Protein backbone atom coordinates (compact mmCIF):
# COMPACT_ATOMS: atom_id res chain seq x y z
CA UNK A 1 0.00 0.00 0.00
CA UNK A 2 0.97 3.65 -0.27
CA UNK A 3 1.15 6.52 2.20
CA UNK A 4 2.55 10.07 2.27
CA UNK A 5 5.92 8.82 3.52
CA UNK A 6 6.26 6.51 0.52
CA UNK A 7 8.89 7.15 -2.11
CA UNK A 8 6.94 6.79 -5.36
CA UNK A 9 8.31 6.23 -8.85
CA UNK A 10 5.59 7.41 -11.24
CA UNK A 11 6.16 6.42 -14.87
CA UNK A 12 4.43 8.10 -17.79
CA UNK A 13 4.09 11.34 -15.84
CA UNK A 14 3.76 13.45 -18.99
CA UNK A 15 0.88 11.44 -20.45
CA UNK A 16 -2.80 12.05 -19.83
CA UNK A 17 -3.18 9.48 -17.03
CA UNK A 18 0.27 9.88 -15.51
CA UNK A 19 0.04 13.68 -15.33
CA UNK A 20 -3.39 13.40 -13.70
CA UNK A 21 -2.08 10.98 -11.06
CA UNK A 22 0.86 13.32 -10.44
CA UNK A 23 -1.52 16.25 -9.86
CA UNK A 24 -3.64 14.13 -7.52
CA UNK A 25 -0.66 12.99 -5.44
CA UNK A 26 0.65 16.53 -5.13
CA UNK A 27 -2.80 17.78 -4.13
CA UNK A 28 -2.94 15.18 -1.35
CA UNK A 29 0.47 16.17 -0.02
CA UNK A 30 2.72 13.47 -1.46
CA UNK A 31 6.19 14.98 -1.82
CA UNK A 32 8.42 11.98 -2.48
CA UNK A 33 7.53 11.48 -6.13
CA UNK A 34 10.24 10.43 -8.59
CA UNK A 35 9.73 11.01 -12.31
CA UNK A 36 11.99 10.57 -15.32
CA UNK A 37 11.46 11.80 -18.88
CA UNK A 38 11.85 9.36 -21.78
CA UNK A 39 15.08 11.13 -22.72
CA UNK A 40 16.45 10.52 -19.23
CA UNK A 41 15.18 6.95 -18.91
CA UNK A 42 14.04 4.77 -21.81
CA UNK A 43 11.79 2.16 -20.19
CA UNK A 44 12.33 -0.09 -23.22
CA UNK A 45 15.95 -0.44 -22.12
CA UNK A 46 16.04 -3.24 -19.58
CA UNK A 47 19.56 -2.60 -18.28
CA UNK A 48 18.93 1.11 -17.65
CA UNK A 49 15.49 0.49 -16.11
CA UNK A 50 16.84 -2.14 -13.70
CA UNK A 51 19.74 0.13 -12.73
CA UNK A 52 17.42 3.12 -12.19
CA UNK A 53 15.17 1.13 -9.86
CA UNK A 54 18.08 -0.27 -7.85
CA UNK A 55 19.68 3.17 -7.55
CA UNK A 56 16.51 5.04 -6.48
CA UNK A 57 14.94 2.28 -4.36
CA UNK A 58 11.28 3.44 -4.48
CA UNK A 59 8.69 2.07 -2.07
CA UNK A 60 5.99 2.19 -4.76
CA UNK A 61 6.08 1.98 -8.56
CA UNK A 62 3.10 3.21 -10.61
CA UNK A 63 3.07 1.94 -14.20
CA UNK A 64 1.23 4.65 -16.11
CA UNK A 65 3.70 4.51 -19.01
CA UNK A 66 2.39 2.72 -22.09
CA UNK A 67 2.08 2.95 -25.84
CA UNK A 68 -1.57 3.89 -26.43
CA UNK A 69 -3.70 4.93 -29.39
CA UNK A 70 -7.04 4.66 -31.14
CA UNK A 71 -8.38 2.00 -33.51
CA UNK A 72 -6.36 3.12 -36.56
CA UNK A 73 -3.10 3.24 -34.62
CA UNK A 74 -3.77 -0.16 -33.04
CA UNK A 75 -4.59 -1.75 -36.39
CA UNK A 76 -1.57 -0.26 -38.15
CA UNK A 77 1.12 -0.86 -35.55
CA UNK A 78 0.21 -4.11 -33.79
CA UNK A 79 3.88 -5.03 -33.68
CA UNK A 80 4.79 -1.88 -31.75
CA UNK A 81 1.82 -2.10 -29.40
CA UNK A 82 2.60 -5.62 -28.26
CA UNK A 83 6.39 -5.24 -28.12
CA UNK A 84 6.62 -1.86 -26.42
CA UNK A 85 3.94 -2.51 -23.83
CA UNK A 86 5.30 -5.96 -22.94
CA UNK A 87 8.82 -4.58 -22.72
CA UNK A 88 7.87 -1.62 -20.51
CA UNK A 89 5.84 -3.84 -18.17
CA UNK A 90 8.43 -6.62 -17.98
CA UNK A 91 11.25 -4.18 -17.25
CA UNK A 92 9.31 -2.36 -14.54
CA UNK A 93 7.72 -5.38 -12.87
CA UNK A 94 10.81 -7.62 -12.81
CA UNK A 95 13.08 -4.65 -12.17
CA UNK A 96 10.96 -3.67 -9.18
CA UNK A 97 11.22 -7.19 -7.80
CA UNK A 98 15.02 -7.13 -8.20
CA UNK A 99 15.16 -3.73 -6.45
CA UNK A 100 13.07 -5.09 -3.56
CA UNK A 101 10.09 -2.85 -4.32
CA UNK A 102 7.13 -4.17 -2.34
CA UNK A 103 4.28 -2.23 -4.00
CA UNK A 104 3.55 -1.83 -7.70
CA UNK A 105 0.38 -0.73 -9.49
CA UNK A 106 -0.14 -1.43 -13.19
CA UNK A 107 -2.76 0.59 -15.06
CA UNK A 108 -4.56 -1.44 -17.70
CA UNK A 109 -7.62 -1.04 -19.91
CA UNK A 110 -11.16 -2.36 -20.30
CA UNK A 111 -10.11 -3.77 -23.69
CA UNK A 112 -8.67 -6.80 -21.84
CA UNK A 113 -12.15 -8.36 -21.90
CA UNK A 114 -13.55 -10.53 -24.74
CA UNK A 115 -15.08 -8.84 -27.77
CA UNK A 116 -18.55 -10.20 -27.05
CA UNK A 117 -18.24 -10.12 -23.28
CA UNK A 118 -21.34 -10.33 -21.12
CA UNK A 119 -22.28 -6.85 -19.88
CA UNK A 120 -21.37 -5.29 -17.55
CA UNK A 121 -17.90 -6.85 -17.60
CA UNK A 122 -16.90 -8.53 -14.34
CA UNK A 123 -13.28 -9.23 -13.44
CA UNK A 124 -14.00 -12.98 -13.62
CA UNK A 125 -14.82 -12.69 -17.34
CA UNK A 126 -11.14 -12.20 -18.22
CA UNK A 127 -9.95 -14.76 -20.82
CA UNK A 128 -13.50 -16.08 -21.37
CA UNK A 129 -13.43 -15.48 -25.12
CA UNK A 130 -11.63 -14.02 -28.16
CA UNK A 131 -10.47 -10.40 -28.01
CA UNK A 132 -11.56 -7.55 -30.28
CA UNK A 133 -9.30 -7.75 -33.33
CA UNK A 134 -8.53 -4.04 -33.66
CA UNK A 135 -6.78 -3.75 -30.28
CA UNK A 136 -5.75 -7.36 -29.77
CA UNK A 137 -2.02 -6.61 -29.52
CA UNK A 138 -2.48 -3.98 -26.81
CA UNK A 139 -4.97 -6.18 -24.96
CA UNK A 140 -2.65 -9.20 -24.91
CA UNK A 141 0.16 -7.06 -23.51
CA UNK A 142 -2.06 -5.71 -20.73
CA UNK A 143 -3.39 -9.18 -19.86
CA UNK A 144 0.21 -10.40 -19.62
CA UNK A 145 0.97 -7.51 -17.25
CA UNK A 146 -2.01 -8.36 -15.03
CA UNK A 147 -0.96 -12.00 -14.82
CA UNK A 148 2.68 -11.12 -14.24
CA UNK A 149 1.71 -8.93 -11.28
CA UNK A 150 -0.56 -11.70 -9.97
CA UNK A 151 2.14 -14.37 -10.19
CA UNK A 152 4.87 -12.19 -8.69
CA UNK A 153 2.57 -11.30 -5.79
CA UNK A 154 1.86 -14.98 -5.18
CA UNK A 155 5.41 -16.31 -5.56
CA UNK A 156 7.43 -13.45 -4.08
CA UNK A 157 4.99 -12.10 -1.47
CA UNK A 158 4.90 -8.61 -2.90
CA UNK A 159 1.89 -6.35 -3.47
CA UNK A 160 1.78 -6.00 -7.27
CA UNK A 161 -1.77 -5.16 -8.39
CA UNK A 162 -3.59 -3.80 -11.45
CA UNK A 163 -6.40 -1.29 -12.01
CA UNK A 164 -8.64 -1.35 -15.10
CA UNK A 165 -10.12 1.94 -16.35
CA UNK A 166 -12.70 2.39 -19.12
CA UNK A 167 -12.13 4.88 -21.96
CA UNK A 168 -10.50 7.93 -20.39
CA UNK A 169 -10.41 11.54 -21.54
CA UNK A 170 -9.17 14.87 -20.24
CA UNK A 171 -6.24 17.33 -20.29
CA UNK A 172 -3.18 16.05 -22.19
CA UNK A 173 -5.35 13.81 -24.35
CA UNK A 174 -4.21 13.06 -27.90
CA UNK A 175 -6.19 14.96 -30.55
CA UNK A 176 -4.26 13.60 -33.54
CA UNK A 177 -7.01 11.96 -35.63
CA UNK A 178 -4.74 9.14 -36.79
CA UNK A 179 -3.81 8.21 -33.21
CA UNK A 180 -6.61 9.40 -30.92
CA UNK A 181 -9.48 7.59 -29.25
CA UNK A 182 -13.04 8.31 -30.29
CA UNK A 183 -13.88 11.11 -27.82
CA UNK A 184 -11.01 13.54 -28.50
CA UNK A 185 -11.48 12.78 -32.21
CA UNK A 186 -15.14 13.79 -31.98
CA UNK A 187 -14.26 16.98 -30.09
CA UNK A 188 -11.75 18.00 -32.76
CA UNK A 189 -14.03 17.11 -35.69
CA UNK A 190 -17.06 18.92 -34.27
CA UNK A 191 -14.99 21.98 -33.30
CA UNK A 192 -13.64 22.39 -36.84
CA UNK A 193 -17.02 21.63 -38.38
CA UNK A 194 -18.41 24.55 -36.40
CA UNK A 195 -15.51 26.87 -37.27
CA UNK A 196 -15.69 26.01 -40.97
CA UNK A 197 -19.51 26.08 -40.93
CA UNK A 198 -19.88 22.57 -42.24
CA UNK A 199 -23.25 20.82 -42.19
CA UNK A 200 -22.14 17.20 -41.74
CA UNK A 201 -20.04 15.18 -39.35
CA UNK A 202 -18.37 11.93 -40.44
CA UNK A 203 -18.27 9.33 -37.66
CA UNK A 204 -16.37 6.07 -37.95
CA UNK A 205 -18.42 2.87 -37.89
CA UNK A 206 -22.15 2.61 -37.29
CA UNK A 207 -22.37 4.93 -34.28
CA UNK A 208 -24.15 2.15 -32.36
CA UNK A 209 -21.11 0.85 -30.47
CA UNK A 210 -21.37 1.77 -26.80
CA UNK A 211 -18.59 3.09 -24.60
CA UNK A 212 -18.10 3.86 -20.94
CA UNK A 213 -16.31 7.17 -20.62
CA UNK A 214 -14.55 8.47 -17.51
CA UNK A 215 -12.86 11.81 -16.89
CA UNK A 216 -9.18 11.17 -16.20
CA UNK A 217 -9.09 13.12 -12.90
CA UNK A 218 -12.00 11.01 -11.60
CA UNK A 219 -10.05 7.87 -12.45
CA UNK A 220 -6.88 9.21 -10.82
CA UNK A 221 -8.76 10.01 -7.63
CA UNK A 222 -10.10 6.45 -7.56
CA UNK A 223 -6.71 4.93 -8.42
CA UNK A 224 -4.94 6.78 -5.59
CA UNK A 225 -7.78 5.78 -3.24
CA UNK A 226 -7.12 2.10 -3.94
CA UNK A 227 -3.34 2.49 -3.84
CA UNK A 228 -3.72 3.93 -0.35
CA UNK A 229 -6.39 1.54 0.88
CA UNK A 230 -5.20 -1.66 -0.76
CA UNK A 231 -7.31 -4.51 -2.10
CA UNK A 232 -7.08 -8.29 -2.11
CA UNK A 233 -8.03 -9.02 -5.74
CA UNK A 234 -5.31 -9.25 -8.46
CA UNK A 235 -7.04 -6.42 -10.31
CA UNK A 236 -10.09 -4.17 -10.00
CA UNK A 237 -12.37 -2.45 -12.50
CA UNK A 238 -12.70 1.30 -12.01
CA UNK A 239 -15.35 3.10 -14.04
CA UNK A 240 -18.69 4.89 -14.01
CA UNK A 241 -20.73 1.74 -14.52
CA UNK A 242 -22.73 3.26 -17.39
CA UNK A 243 -22.32 3.40 -21.15
CA UNK A 244 -23.66 5.40 -24.10
CA UNK A 245 -23.43 5.01 -27.87
CA UNK A 246 -20.87 6.85 -30.01
CA UNK A 247 -23.86 8.61 -31.57
CA UNK A 248 -24.96 9.80 -28.10
CA UNK A 249 -21.51 11.25 -27.38
CA UNK A 250 -21.43 13.02 -30.76
CA UNK A 251 -24.79 14.66 -30.04
CA UNK A 252 -23.67 15.54 -26.50
CA UNK A 253 -20.60 17.40 -27.81
CA UNK A 254 -22.68 19.15 -30.48
CA UNK A 255 -25.05 20.36 -27.77
CA UNK A 256 -22.18 21.70 -25.65
CA UNK A 257 -20.74 23.55 -28.65
CA UNK A 258 -24.17 24.75 -29.79
CA UNK A 259 -23.89 23.32 -33.29
CA UNK A 260 -26.18 21.07 -35.32
CA UNK A 261 -24.59 18.67 -37.76
CA UNK A 262 -25.97 15.80 -39.79
CA UNK A 263 -24.11 12.65 -38.85
CA UNK A 264 -22.81 10.45 -41.65
CA UNK A 265 -21.48 7.05 -40.67
CA UNK A 266 -18.39 5.66 -42.39
CA UNK A 267 -19.24 1.98 -42.19
CA UNK A 268 -15.99 1.03 -43.93
CA UNK A 269 -14.32 1.75 -40.60
CA UNK A 270 -14.58 -0.66 -37.63
CA UNK A 271 -16.81 -0.21 -34.59
CA UNK A 272 -14.45 -2.00 -32.25
CA UNK A 273 -16.11 -3.81 -29.35
CA UNK A 274 -19.92 -3.52 -29.58
CA UNK A 275 -20.25 -2.88 -25.83
CA UNK A 276 -17.66 -2.10 -23.19
CA UNK A 277 -19.09 -1.32 -19.75
CA UNK A 278 -17.23 -2.30 -16.58
CA UNK A 279 -18.88 -3.95 -13.61
CA UNK A 280 -17.63 -1.98 -10.59
CA UNK A 281 -19.29 -4.05 -7.87
CA UNK A 282 -15.99 -5.19 -6.34
CA UNK A 283 -14.55 -1.67 -6.24
CA UNK A 284 -17.66 -0.30 -4.55
CA UNK A 285 -17.31 -2.87 -1.76
CA UNK A 286 -14.24 -0.96 -0.60
CA UNK A 287 -16.27 2.21 -0.05
CA UNK A 288 -15.51 3.91 -3.35
CA UNK A 289 -18.29 5.40 -5.48
CA UNK A 290 -18.12 7.01 -8.95
CA UNK A 291 -19.23 10.60 -9.38
CA UNK A 292 -19.39 11.34 -13.11
CA UNK A 293 -19.88 14.89 -14.38
CA UNK A 294 -19.77 14.78 -18.19
CA UNK A 295 -20.28 18.53 -18.64
CA UNK A 296 -17.43 19.56 -16.32
CA UNK A 297 -15.15 16.93 -17.83
CA UNK A 298 -15.98 18.05 -21.36
CA UNK A 299 -15.42 21.74 -20.60
CA UNK A 300 -12.00 21.13 -19.03
CA UNK A 301 -10.99 18.86 -21.91
CA UNK A 302 -12.23 21.30 -24.54
CA UNK A 303 -10.40 24.21 -22.90
CA UNK A 304 -7.23 22.14 -22.93
CA UNK A 305 -7.79 21.41 -26.63
CA UNK A 306 -8.21 25.13 -27.40
CA UNK A 307 -5.10 26.06 -25.41
CA UNK A 308 -3.08 23.29 -27.05
CA UNK A 309 -4.24 24.39 -30.50
CA UNK A 310 -3.37 28.00 -29.69
CA UNK A 311 0.13 27.09 -28.47
CA UNK A 312 0.82 25.06 -31.61
CA UNK A 313 -0.30 27.97 -33.78
CA UNK A 314 1.90 30.42 -31.83
CA UNK A 315 4.91 28.11 -32.16
CA UNK A 316 4.59 28.21 -35.95
CA UNK A 317 4.51 32.01 -36.14
Strand bridging mode 210-211 / 244-245: antiparallel
- Active-site residue, from 113, 138, 169, 302: 138
Is 22 assigned a catalytic role? no
Say if CB 85 and CB 141 are below 8 A apart. Answer: yes
> Cβ–Cβ contacts within 10 Å for residue 112, how many?
27
Distance between CA atoms of residues 231 and 282, nearest Å: 10
* Closest to 173 in 3D by CA, of 188, 163, 162: 188
Distance between CA atoms of residues 144 and 3, nearest Å: 28
Answer positive or negative: Cα dihedral of 183, 185, 188, 189: negative
Distance between CA atoms of residues 208 and 248, nearest Å: 9
C-alpha distances (whole Å) from 105 to each of 118, 150, 291 are 26, 11, 23
Which residues are known to be catalytic?
A: 138
Amino acid sequence: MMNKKSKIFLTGHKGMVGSSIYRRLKYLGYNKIIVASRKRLDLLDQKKTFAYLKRNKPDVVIVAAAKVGGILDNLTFKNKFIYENLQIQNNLIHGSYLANVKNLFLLGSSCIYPKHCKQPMKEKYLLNGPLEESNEAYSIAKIAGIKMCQYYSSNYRVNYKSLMPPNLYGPNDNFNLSQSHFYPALIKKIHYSKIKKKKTLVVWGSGRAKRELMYVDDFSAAAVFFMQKGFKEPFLNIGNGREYSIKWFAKFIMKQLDVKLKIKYDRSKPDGMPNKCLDITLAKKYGWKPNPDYIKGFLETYNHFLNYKSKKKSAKV
